[in-house]
Amino acid sequence: MEVVIVQDAAAGGELIAGSIADLLRRKPDALIGVATGSTPLPIYQALSSLVGSGALDASEARVAQLDEYVGLPQGHPESYRSVVLREVVEPLGLKESSFLGPDGSAEDVAEACEAYDRALWQAGGVDLQLLGIGTDGHIGFNEPCSSLASRTRIKTLTEQTRVDNARFFGGDVDQVPRHVITQGIGTILEARHLVLLATGEGKADAVAQTVEGPLAALVPASALQLHQHATVVVDEAAASKLKLADYFRATYAAKPDWQGL
């Protein structure tokens, strides 16, 4: 995988937004897999600026959710569908009809998971999948010891993840759902390009294990080692535990511009 160390979260957001913009200029209806949480927000802000300034027309782009809480009422402001509508679909002027996501309020959750996996396939697959990383090394909501071959399915959140996400629910961990639907690791690995952004010191251990540790279900993000086009963008704080940081810096500095991310 390629590791790109940037100064801060804003620089990471701009770099990744630039890569998405390049993709959309080549393929206007590209399917972008979007992640939620705090980390990707600078990407969406940078993309909105590009659209607002007229430098990018994203109106044909399609987006697909990575994961969703189970059991929140439809329209709940913290459902990931609502978050993606608010942070991505509306600011970028995308058509709501071009937005794919799993149905977290379905009565038959197993069927909803299978239907979503199929829908991604029928849509031609994800061109670029954005990822965050949990402090426990999860991608999507694939918690430690998730099968590296897993498909979209229901998962139970770890206590750590529910504590991490309580800030979106007024600080009350009891309000954070226990169950989620998440694209599986096998599903995620089918995207043509994976781009993981990690910022802040709290992610430094998970990043080091992902990039330099062994491939292990215990650190689900380490599955990126299996992908032929995976890019990990980290700020200085999240890179602080990488042994090969100097090598990664030198490699990126010497990279030909035409290669992009």
| From 68, 87, 127, 143, active-site residue | 143
Q: How far is the CB of 107 from ligand PGA (least distance, A)?
A: 27
- Range 23-82, binding ligand PGA (CB under 6 A): 37-39
The strand pair at 179-182 and 67-69 is best described as antiparallel
Looking at beta carbons only, is 115 or 216 nearer to ligand PGA?
Answer: 216
Please, are residues 101 and 66 in contact by the beta-carbon 8 Å criterion? no
Looking at beta carbons only, is 98 or 175 nearer to ligand PGA?
Answer: 175
Q: How far is the CB of 99 from ligand PGA (least distance, A)?
A: 20
Question: What sign has the CA pseudo-torsion 178, 181, 187, 189?
Answer: negative
Q: How far is the CB of 255 from ligand PGA (least distance, A)?
A: 26
Tokens of 247: 């090598």
Tokens of 238: 């999240």
Looking at beta carbons only, is 18 or 140 nearer to ligand PGA?
Answer: 140
Task: Report residue 166 CA to chain centroid gap.
Answer: 19
Determine the Cα–Cα distance for residues 69 and 74; give it in Å rounded to an integer: 11
The residue nearest ligand PGA at its CB is 37
Nearest to 105 by CA among 136, 134, 82, 128: 82
Looking at beta carbons only, is 37 or 186 nearer to ligand PGA?
Answer: 37
For tokens 């659209």, what's the residue?
Answer: 51
- Range 123-182, binding ligand PGA (CB under 6 A): 132-134
Q: How far is the CB of 165 from ligand PGA (least distance, A)?
A: 7
| From 136, 164, 193, 235, active-site residue | 136
For ligand PGA (CB under 6 A), the number of binding residues is 6
Q: Is 67 a catalytic residue?
A: yes
| From 14, 67, 68, 103, active-site residue | 67
Give me the half-sphere count of Cα atoms (radius 13 Å) on the Cβ side of residue 46: 18
Q: Is 136 a catalytic residue?
A: yes
Q: What are phi and psi of 155, to 5 degrees?
A: -130, 160
For tokens 């300034």, what's the residue?
Answer: 53
| From 68, 138, 164, 193, active-site residue | 138
Looking at beta carbons only, is 193 or 203 nearer to ligand PGA?
Answer: 203
Looking at beta carbons only, is 37 or 101 nearer to ligand PGA?
Answer: 37
Q: How far is the CB of 250 from ligand PGA (least distance, A)?
A: 28
Please, are residues 53 and 89 in contact by the beta-carbon 8 Å criterion? no
- Range 193-222, binding ligand PGA (CB under 6 A): none
Query: Nearest-5° angle of CA 140, CA 259, CA 191?
Result: 25
Q: Is 138 a catalytic residue?
A: yes
Question: What sign has the CA pseudo-torsion 254, 259, 260, 261?
Answer: negative
Q: How far is the CB of 29 from ligand PGA (least distance, A)?
A: 26
Query: Nearest-5° angle of CA 112, CA 116, CA 121?
Result: 150
The residues binding ligand PGA (CB under 6 A) are 37-39, 132-134
The catalytic residue positions are: 67, 136, 138, 143
